[in-house]
Amino acid sequence: MRSVIGAIIGDIVGSAYEWHNTKDYDFNFFSEKTEFTDDTVLSVATADVILKKYDTATAEDYAEMYKKYGRDYPRRGYGGRFIGWLQRSDMPRLDSYGNGSAMRVSAAGFAFDTLEAVLKESRKSAEFTHGHPEGVKGAQATASAIFLARTGSSKEEIKGYIKKEFNYSLDRTLNEIRPTYTFDATCPGSVPEAITAFLESGSYEDAIRKAITLGGDSDTIACIAGGIAEAFYRKIPDAYMKKALDILDRPLRSVVEKFEEKYGLDTENRASPSDR
Over the chain (276 residues), the average pLDDT of each successive run of 10 is 86 96 96 95 98 97 98 96 96 97 98 97 98 98 98 98 98 97 97 98 98 98 98 95 97 97 62 40
What is the model's pLDDT at position 190? Answer: 98
Task: Quote the pTM value.
Answer: 0.95
Q: If you count DSSP H runs as helices and E runs as strands, how many of each does the chain have, helices first?
A: 15, 0
Q: Which amino acid is at 262?
A: K
Other Cβ atoms less than 10 A from the Cβ of 25: the count is 10
Instruction: Name the architecture of domain 5-266.
Output: Orthogonal Bundle (1.10)
- What is the chain's alpha carbon radius of gyration, rounded to the nearest angstrom? 17
Cβ atoms of residues 99 and 77 within 8 Å? no
Residue 163's contacts (CB-CB under 8 Å, 6 or more residues apart) are: 169, 170
Residues 6+ apart with CB under 8 A from 248: 8, 36, 40, 256
Q: Note the pLDDT of residue 264.
A: 81
Query: Are the beta carbons of 103 and 146 closer than 8 angstroms?
Result: no
Based on the number of CB atoms within 10 Å of its own CB, is 268 exposed (0-12), middle (13-18) or buried (19 or more)?
exposed
Half-sphere exposure of 63 (CA within 13 A, CB side): 20
Contact 115, 145 (CB under 8 A): no
Per-residue pLDDT at 3: 82
Residue 274 pLDDT: 39
